[in-house]
Amino acid sequence: MALPLPLIFLLMIHRVSSADWGVSYSHSHICALKNSSVIMSCTYTYPTGYQIMNVFWTKSPIKVGEEYPDLSEDPEYSQRLQYLGDKQQNCTIRLNHVTQKDSHMYYFRFTTNVTEGRWTGHPGVSLIVTDLQVESPERVTEGDSVRLTCKSSCTLTDRATFIWYRNSQPLTERRDRNNELLLQSVRREDAGRYSCALHGHTYISPAVHLNVMYAPKSVSVSISPSGEIVEGDSVTLICSSDSNPPAEISWFKGGMFVGSGRIYSISKISSDHSGEYKCKSINEHGDKDSDILILNVMNVSVFINGSAEIVEGDSVTLICSSDSNPPALNFSWFKEDESSAVGSGQSFSALQSGRFYCEAHNQHGSQRSDAVTVTVKGRLVILYMSTGVVCGAAVIIMMSLIW
Ligand SMILES: *[C@@H]1O[C@H](CO)[C@@H](O)[C@H](O)[C@H]1NC(C)=O
Ligand SMILES: *[C@@H]1O[C@H](CO)[C@@H](O)[C@H](O)[C@H]1NC(C)=O
Ligand SMILES: *[C@@H]1O[C@H](CO)[C@@H](O)[C@H](O)[C@H]1NC(C)=O
Ligand SMILES: *[C@@H]1O[C@H](CO)[C@@H](O)[C@H](O)[C@H]1NC(C)=O
Ligand SMILES: *[C@@H]1O[C@H](CO)[C@@H](O)[C@H](O)[C@H]1NC(C)=O
Ligand SMILES: *[C@@H]1O[C@H](CO)[C@@H](O)[C@H](O)[C@H]1NC(C)=O
């Protein structure tokens, strides 16, 4: 049935005029992110016949002296507080740049021109200000499935979108549900400092380091000095490997353990040090061998069995001497400035002038000697001299060696 219009009007007046004193808050519990702005929406009612004198918010549930302390006079709040309401019914307030110290109960209070007409809106609004903390396992092993969680001390709104950072770079490719970042099969490259944030907010959580453990990789041996090695040199073998945690290094020569540590030093190398070297890198997640490094220490020299100065038509024997392990069985002879070998075998007969050297070969490689100089110094010349003849001709043959 339809009521006549004036009656509806009267009923409405009645409802308002008999309304109790009251304050109502849209949200009695607010979870806010550090440094964000919080709006506490609020309305209030009071009976007609009163005039609102003062409206303010307080965080004290009891009077301090004559009145409740006004938040806008608190130096901790005055710069950050904005009353968005009015003096009729809206008591909404905004608090900027909230800190965890702001976590508290807040109440709206109003006073009227009547001494008894004062009201505090209990039970108030509970504000909790949270930061964000990345929760992550401290140590993970390559291949593990790793879940990082962005934790807040209270439940942020469902609409909150989380953003993840690794080493301050936003992770764009990953969109994982809620506040979790899932690394399906964690890789070495995933190690780093992780932090999280909420979309649309300036606050970023402290970073947490994700340490990804893995077995040794890229194990290699380098040698110093890198050039030719001769007997008596000091030689250092260095084992490089990539692993987390750092690996223990062992050295092997021809399969036999010879030492440990990243560096293997040989102070006075001799042919006995020749052989096949490798290092093994071991940590709790596995081990890996380097490639083999061949050390071939050869002392090759040439000596001349005879005089370095010969006469034309004569020859001198050059002998190649080699000290190596295993011994060299194969020798080649070269003349400087000629690319192809001029001979083979441990000795060589030099017939011409030149600088000669030998090259000794064993299964690990070869080494050449310094060169020796052979000089053909003379020429045997026969001079015929004839003189006028009387009877009984005389022929004088002079043989002369011209130097
Ligand atoms: C309070 O204000 C209202 C509205 O202005 C007025 O009607 C009322 O008389 C006032 N009461 C007192 C006690 O001053
Ligand atoms: C109260 O004031 C705020 C800020 O002006 C406004 O956003 C809000 O809608 C108002 N609330 C009511 C119930 O009118
Ligand atoms: C807090 O927020 C302001 C802007 O609202 C921003 O300029 C400032 O850098 C933020 N501070 C921190 C510590 O995030
Ligand atoms: C090479 O061997 C010879 C003879 O065995 C030796 O006298 C010489 O010192 C060696 N050279 C080096 C650099 O050890
Ligand atoms: C050097 O020559 C002499 C005499 O010709 C010979 O007896 C000797 O065996 C040679 N030495 C070598 C190492 O060939
Ligand atoms: C000797 O060395 C040369 C040059 O490296 C090689 O061509 C030859 O096959 C070797 N001979 C033997 C018997 O090892």
Both 188 and 281 in one domain: the answer is no
Counting the structural domains of the chain, the total is 4
Is the per-residue pLDDT at 226 higher than 90? no
**Count of alpha carbons within 13 angstroms of residue 359, beta-carbon side:** 15
Distance separating alpha carbons of residues 319 and 322, to the nearest angstrom: 10
Q: Is the CB of 304 under 6 A from ligand 5?
A: no
Both 40 and 121 in one domain: the answer is yes
Tens digit of each residue's pLDDT (9 = 90 or more) over 35-54: 999 999 999 999 988 999 99
Closest CA to 367 of 357, 375, 376, 359: 359
Both 323 and 373 in one domain: the answer is yes
Phi, psi values for residue 5, rounded to 5°: -50, -50
Tens digit of each residue's pLDDT (9 = 90 or more) over 271-291: 899 999 999 999 999 999 999
Of the ligands numbered here, which is closest to the C-alpha atom of 33?
A: 3
Query: For all residues of the chain together, what is the average pLDDT?
Result: 87
Residue 119: give the domain boundaries: 20-129
Residue 14 within any structural domain of the chain: no
Residue 1 within any structural domain of the chain: no
Among 213-217, 298-302, 385-389, name the one with the lowest average pLDDT.
Answer: 385-389
Pairing of strands 372-386, 309-311: parallel
**Count of alpha carbons within 13 angstroms of residue 247, beta-carbon side:** 27
Of the pLDDT bands very low, low, confident and very high (cuts 50, 70, 90), residue 363 is confident
The predicted pLDDT at position 324 comes to 87
Among 29-33, 159-163, 209-213, 357-361, name the one with the lowest average pLDDT.
Answer: 159-163
Both 311 and 292 in one domain: the answer is no
Both 198 and 100 in one domain: the answer is no
Boundary (domain end) residue, out of 275, 298, 321: 298
Best of 113, 114, 115, 116 for a ligand 1 pocket test (most atoms within 8 Å of beta carbon): 113
Boundary (domain end) residue, out of 177, 206, 235: 206
Both 32 and 110 in one domain: the answer is yes
Residue 92 within any structural domain of the chain: yes
Instruction: Collect all residues with Cβ–Cβ distance below 8 Å to 250 and sequence separation of at least 6.
Output: 257, 259, 260, 279, 280, 282
How many percent of the chain have pLDDT more than 70?
88
Q: In angstroms, what is the span from residue 84 Cα to ligand 5's centroid? A: 115
- DSSP of 254-299: TTEEEEESSEEEESS--GGG-EEEEEEEEETTEEEEPPPEEE---E
Q: In angstroms, what is the span from residue 19 Cα to ligand 2's centroid? A: 21
What is the sign, positive or negative, of the torsion defined by CA atoms of 283, 285, 286, 287? negative
Boundary (domain end) residue, out of 98, 129, 160: 129
Cis peptide before 327 (omega within 30 of 0): no
Both 258 and 227 in one domain: the answer is yes
Both 259 and 320 in one domain: the answer is no
Both 257 and 278 in one domain: the answer is yes
Measured CA to CA in angstroms, residue 221 lies from 226, 248, 252, 294 at distances of 11, 14, 12, 10
Tens digit of each residue's pLDDT (9 = 90 or more) over 60-75: 888 888 889 999 999 9
Residue 173 within any structural domain of the chain: yes
Torsion of CA 196, 199, 202, 204, to 10 degrees: 0
Residue 374 within any structural domain of the chain: yes
Tens digit of each residue's pLDDT (9 = 90 or more) over 181-193: 999 899 999 999 9
Tens digit of each residue's pLDDT (9 = 90 or more) over 122-136: 899 999 999 999 999
Residue 61 within any structural domain of the chain: yes
Closest CA to 320 of 376, 375, 366, 352: 366
Both 184 and 115 in one domain: the answer is no
Both 99 and 25 in one domain: the answer is yes
Q: Is the CB of 230 under 6 A from ligand 4?
A: yes
CB 388 within 8 Å of CB 361 = no
Of the ligands numbered here, which is closest to the C-alpha atom of 321?
A: 4
Closest CA to 336 of 360, 308, 357: 357
CATH of the domain at 102: 2.60.40.10
Residue 105 within any structural domain of the chain: yes
Both 181 and 238 in one domain: the answer is no
CB 52 within 8 Å of CB 46 = yes
Stronger pLDDT, 7 or 317, i.e. the higher one: 317
